[in-house]
Structure 1
Amino acid sequence: MTESAAPIILPRTGIGIDVHAFAAADEPRELWLGGLLWEGQRGLSGHSDGDPVAHAAADALFSAAGVGDLGTHFGTDRPEFAGASGVTLLAAAAKIVRDAGFEIGNIAVQFVGNRPKFGPRRAESQQILSEAAGAPVSVSATTSDALGFTGRGEGIAAIATALVYLAH
């Protein structure tokens, strides 16, 4: 009788992208980015809190698990998510992915924008997002060298990747 080999864990990766324009000056909003409130900064427009970092992370999880996207689960046709926290949406996305039979390996997010300066609050953001996802979340930031809508200061974009694997 031969001993069977341990099962091979095949990871699945997903990509998420989220973009939000800055809110109009006559309709001010708070800025939520990376799960954090940025006092004194102009906020982003959106159905929920407009946090592109948290939203891209959630979308990357959905993509990796093959269970739809942000609009499928939290779209504008769902009024109960109006104004919802991106951290709340990320936690709900992680639960949906786990309920579909997956575990989360990690999530990496990069946001593109001229402001706010992210470095001083990176660790705080990563901790909040990691707690929401129940898995490691890393966040990096860059500018677009004055190119495109992010370079002109019209909004912020975020791109995320997630790794999930089938739970045993």
Structure 2
Amino acid sequence: MLRIGHGFDVHAFAEGRDLVLGGVRIPAPRGLLGHSDADVVTHALMDAVLGAMRAEDIGQLFPDTDPAYEGADSCELLRQVAGLARDRGYRILDCDCTIAAQAPRLATHRLAMRRALAGALGIDVESVGVAATTTEHLGFVGREEGIAAWAVALLEQDEGGAHAHLQ
């Protein structure tokens, strides 16, 4: 059985923080505000994988009220989500991410992001897509107030795992 999940995340820019996108530190004058490393790409992808499983979302799994996740590496959390998927009888087949950022320019970092995300998911880099776009100076992204990301994930569930996590 094939399952599709969709994820979305957004974070505002913040001074004094590193910018981490898709598991990669991007040279930039400011990063994103969040409890963890605020990696919007990885957060959207985690929710896409969890959505395909019809499981809890990242806010339930890794609540921002838990000090254990303060400053957390989102790729490590993605690794945990991928492990949960495998434990529940799913195989991650493919995923695709879109980043909306007016600045900084991200084209030269796409391959590094694909590699980092694929490594965390335990899948081939050819099964991970990353695209970046601007919003032509429209909205909060266009005003350079923050960054948004969307992700989709395609999972295959083995027949034996179909109801195992619901029991």
The normalised TM-score by structure 1 is: 0.89
CA contact (8 A) 2:28 2:104 kept: no
Aligned residues: 156
Higher helix share: 2
Q: Which has more radius of gyration?
A: 1
Alignment match of 1:14 (pick from 5, 12, 18): 5
Counterpart in 1 of 2:31?
Answer: 43
Distance 2:104 2:20 in 1: 10
- Tell me the alpha carbon deviations over residues 62-100 of structure 1, each in whole angstroms, 9 at most, x when there is no partner: 000011111011111322111111211111111111111
After TM superposition, where is structure 1 displaced by more than 6 Å over at least 4 residues in a row?
Answer: none
RMSD: 1.2
Counterpart in 2 of 1:103?
Answer: 91
Alignment match of 1:66 (pick from 42, 54, 59): 54
User: Unpaired runs of 5+ in structure 1?
Assistant: 1-9
Aligned-pair CA distance for 1:117: 1.3
Q: Give % identity.
A: 41
1:129 equivalenced with 2:117 (yes/no) = yes
Counterpart in 2 of 1:4?
Answer: none
Counterpart in 1 of 2:76?
Answer: 88
Alignment match of 1:162 (pick from 150, 153, 158): 153
SS state at 1:106 partner: strand
The normalised TM-score by structure 2 is: 0.89
User: Unpaired runs of 5+ in structure 2?
Assistant: 160-167
- Tell me the alpha carbon deviations over residues 110-165 of structure 1, each in whole angstroms, 9 at most, x when there is no partner: 01011221111211110111010112221101111111110110000000000111
Distance 1:167 1:65 in 2: 12
Distance 1:149 1:103 in 2: 36
